[in-house]
Structure 1
């Protein structure tokens, strides 16, 4: 049995599918602060298998411990966390409480239950401004916002945990930019309020929820002047979790990038989404945002060599799958 924290969210639901399709049993803990129970019902419909669900918070150590013992959990995939960079600048203490304190409580419950296999959802934001490209796992770590610092502090905390108790098996996954949706169109990214990610914003313009897209800067040192990011299909990202979980056969701490190794500019994403949707995406250029970098792109060599994992889906597929989700669910899960 695998415990999935934050399993009702965008990435969590896709990881649920990967686990269920691989034959694992799954129990999800999610406080639904930025997700919807209906997403898990759709996961069950896609997979034709049930999963267990507990509506609770990772900061509730006793509740976590009860779930670990009741369901006979053998490993935890930890996805629960607040993740908006801008919001973390406004409410840093909320991020430290939810992300760092929450992980401390989760680990404490795991220790009590003698469950010592953990896959942690980290982020490429731990790298900060690139000193060189592409970014490999040896790149210096210097996050530039509270969200990224919570991820880095958790990484260091987990390494210290292993140093003190060397029978832990810990995988740290540094995500780049997840995009796309499940091919069924039944689950996808459903942000509350203004999306933090580019592709949902573009999709909302395409479907008419927003009049135009705002592009932050067109004077970067890139071929078309707009920022370049490494977009990875969420289904490929979910498969990476499964590969890491299977890799954790021996005690240790394992850190790996999950990205494609190639970047796409904002305007390239706009053109790809126009092709996928058959609709025009109006946009305006605004001044650069503070802290944004020109290019952020992964070196996925270590994952390919060690896990035999690599991304398989293109930017065109990401846009097509997200558009399918958007058309089937114009109001996300909220109309359910």
Structure 2
């Protein structure tokens, strides 16, 4: 049984990926510093799969702790999620984002090299493209100067990994996510923002639940059909399965070069107002929202061309926007009852 290290494995995408790894027969060890997640997620994963993953609380910014971990644990591959991830917050706290997202990646790669661990899946982002010249966005689209420090950490991260693969004969796949949403079918794990949500869907569900008084729609003057920003929203379970597909590609030596990157989305662009209308239809709840000014760091429109992931990884998004929004709403209702 192959053993996989999942950093940030108690977070939103990480926890869903751990479930899919276990379902696929992998042994999993999780590292998480619990700065943006909760230890209770470990029990929820165990309830879903019947297997309790090994867990260690660890801050990847602590180089000595990272060294100690790798001296005690033999793993066959790493899926690296652990990072700060909010565009808006990164504009306010750039130094924290660079220290956390870049420093931790460097320490991780150093130990992978020291212990001859060759396989890495990197949690990247469509933010590396900035505002693309044409849509849908293909992997051939140039990476533009980032609109936010968060986006820049993903660009820099990819460069560090690419150069490490070349220098040390490592293999890595960067998955460039679009916008993950939803919750597991069991409603035992889902998006669990600490404090005020930075992402749209948790803010939508918290507004519907009466936790937030009002949903702010950042700008209605974009060059889009209804004036609101367009994104590609992918169900988190579909996204989790893309990590398994990427990992298997590396473990089976099917990658064509040391560093590869793939878009992971649905290929469908949905505006903020369309999200609101679809959510209202799915949930039967009316949302109280208000148009406000644009948010710094946001782009107009982004949705993926996923043909490379479909063909090379043999992966395709299967779940609908309605399924994703309804699962997010069920997750919110469960949280409110607890």
Give unpaired runs (5+ residues) of structure 2.
Answer: none
Mapped contact 1:121–1:175 kept (Cα < 8 A)? yes
For residue 157 of structure 2, what is the aligned residue in structure 1?
A: 154
Mapped contact 1:61–1:108 kept (Cα < 8 A)? no
- The alignment's TM-score, normalised by the length of structure 2, stands at 0.95
1:229 aligns with 2:231: yes
Determine helix, strand or coil for the equivalent of 1:28. strand
Mapped contact 2:113–2:168 kept (Cα < 8 A)? no
- CA-CA distance at 1:41 after TM superposition: 1.0
- The alignment's TM-score, normalised by the length of structure 1, stands at 0.95
How far apart, CA to CA, are the structure 2 residues paired with 1:306 and 1:69? Answer: 34
For residue 177 of structure 1, what is the aligned residue in structure 2?
A: 179
For residue 283 of structure 2, what is the aligned residue in structure 1?
A: 277
Mapped contact 2:269–2:302 kept (Cα < 8 A)? yes
* Aligned residue pairs, count: 331
Determine helix, strand or coil for the equivalent of 2:336. coil
How far apart, CA to CA, are the structure 2 residues paired with 1:41 and 1:267? Answer: 36
- Select 1:98's aligned residue among 93, 97, 100: 100
Summarize deviations over 1:151-177 as a string: whole Å, max 9, x none. 1111001111111122x1101111100
How far apart, CA to CA, are the structure 2 residues paired with 1:259 and 1:205? Answer: 26
Question: CA-atom RMSD, angstroms?
Answer: 1.3
- Select 2:205's aligned residue among 203, 206, 220: 203
How far apart, CA to CA, are the structure 2 residues paired with 1:315 and 1:259? Answer: 12
For residue 168 of structure 2, what is the aligned residue in structure 1?
A: 165
1:54 aligns with 2:60: no
For residue 72 of structure 1, what is the aligned residue in structure 2?
A: 74
How far apart, CA to CA, are the structure 2 residues paired with 1:86 and 1:267? Answer: 20
- CA-CA distance at 1:276 after TM superposition: 2.1
How far apart, CA to CA, are the structure 2 residues paired with 1:102 and 1:127? Answer: 23
For residue 189 of structure 2, what is the aligned residue in structure 1?
A: 187
Mapped contact 1:64–1:109 kept (Cα < 8 A)? yes
- CA-CA distance at 1:62 after TM superposition: 3.6
How far apart, CA to CA, are the structure 2 residues paired with 1:318 and 1:284? Answer: 23
How far apart, CA to CA, are the structure 1 residues paired with 2:71 and 2:279? Answer: 46
1:27 aligns with 2:29: yes
Mapped contact 2:126–2:178 kept (Cα < 8 A)? yes
- CA-CA distance at 1:316 after TM superposition: 0.3
Further displaced range: 245-254 or 93-102: 245-254
Give unpaired runs (5+ residues) of structure 1.
Answer: none
Mapped contact 2:147–2:298 kept (Cα < 8 A)? no
